[in-house]
Amino acid sequence: MKTILVTGSRGLVGSAIEKLEYTQKDYYFIHLTSSICDLRNYEKTKKYFDYIKPKCIIHLAACVGGLYKNMNDKVKMFEDNILINTNVIKCAYECGVKELIACLSTCVFPDNKIVNEESLHDGPPHPSNEGYAYAKRMLEIHCRIYNEQFGTNYICIIPTNIYGPEDNYNLEDSHVLPGLIHRCYLAKKESQPFVVRGTGAPLRQFIYSMDLAKLIFIVLKLESKIGNIILSPTQEVSIKEIAEIICEKFDYHNIVFDSNFSDGQYRKTADNSKLMKLIGNFEFTDLKVGISETIDHFITYYDTLRK
């Protein structure tokens, strides 16, 4: 049985992997959180990896946030992620790990163009998230040069906007969809307008966390060295459409778009053709179904979830 270490295991994707790992009979999963080991510290990371001796790592740990955290805290987003990623890759190799899956983000891509795995470094990312984006680009380079020099199989997956249960619903630091869910919930509770920051015009692709976990398991079992791969459905939807789906679920339609706030990047369309050619058809969760399930979880666990 292969031991797999999952970093960032209490985050959105790590929680989805933990819920579905019972389906993976050939693997034994160890879940790492920041309270167990601070991955920003090389000595602590090396000591922990030496103790666990994993055969494979699913690297999900990151300092993450939504548009406004990325805009307002660029130094921390860059430095924390550079430290985390450098230590994980370096210590993984030093501990004999030959297989690793590292999670990037579509914000790493050049601004305002349809992108694929080959265009990652073809231009600067949108300035709103450059700290986080460049740190993630360095993770891709780090994995690639280890593969080239040492023959490892370090794969970078690139999911689009992830949503689902166990998300972070902080009103200032969350990603767009959980932030909208929380704002709509409070607006209805307080009989106030549901204020959506920005015009609602930007387009995004969203992937349900459970779908992403399933795709990670598929990638894990591939025998070939596939390199970088975008994990995403094809569908693009506007922030306005997302807000309206949330309103429909809450049955609350007093919605206002505040154009005084930045829209951020208008579009970052990711081409998933490599994924589709590699694995064939994959049934992504319908967006309305995924959002409905996410809101049900949010309401049920409101008092204890991250917010």
pLDDT at 232 over 90: yes
269 against 97, higher pLDDT: 97
Number of domains in the chain: 1
59 against 305, higher pLDDT: 59
Task: Read off the pLDDT of each residue in 216-241 and give the average, rounded to a whole number.
Answer: 92
pLDDT at 120 over 80: yes
pLDDT of residue 39: 97
Which residues does residue 195 pair with via DSSP β-bridges, in sequence order? 256
pLDDT in tens, 8-22: 998 999 999 999 999
pLDDT of residue 266: 80
Please give the backbone phi and psi of residue 229, each rounded to the nearest 5 degrees, phi first. Answer: -150, 130
pLDDT in tens, 101-117: 999 988 888 876 778 99
Flag whether 305 is in a domain. no
pLDDT of residue 129: 81
- Full residue range of the structural domain in which residue 64 is found: 2-163+205-231
Q: 48, 68, 132, 163: which one is catalytic?
A: 132
Flag whether 135 is in a domain. yes
Q: What is the mean pLDDT of the chain?
A: 92
Least confident of 29-33, 97-101, 172-176: 172-176
- Whichever domain contains 155, its CATH number is 3.40.50.720
pLDDT at 126 over 90: no
Flag whether 286 is in a domain. no
Alpha-carbon gap, residue 11 to 128, rounded angstroms: 23
Least confident of 148-152, 279-283, 287-291: 279-283
Q: What b/e sequence results for 3-41 when a residue is b if at least 16 CB atoms lie within 10 Å of its CB, and e otherwise? A: ebbbbbbbbbbbbbbbeebeeeeebebebbebeebebbe
pLDDT at 208 over 90: yes
Alpha-carbon gap, residue 49 to 51, rounded angstroms: 5
Flag whether 265 is in a domain. no
Which of the listed ranges 182-186, 200-204, 221-225 does the model predict with the highest average pLDDT? Answer: 182-186
Least confident of 75-79, 84-88, 128-132, 158-162: 128-132
Flag whether 41 is in a domain. yes
Per-residue pLDDT band at 155 (split at 50, 70, 90): very high
Flag whether 249 is in a domain. no
66 against 88, higher pLDDT: 88
Question: Cα separations (Å) of 52 from 17, 55, 86, 146?
Answer: 19, 9, 19, 21
Please give the backbone phi and psi of residue 117, each rounded to the nearest 5 degrees, phi first. Answer: -60, -25
pLDDT of residue 20: 94
301 catalytic? Reply is no
pLDDT at 248 over 80: yes
pLDDT at 245 over 80: yes
Flag whether 274 is in a domain. no
Flag whether 129 is in a domain. yes
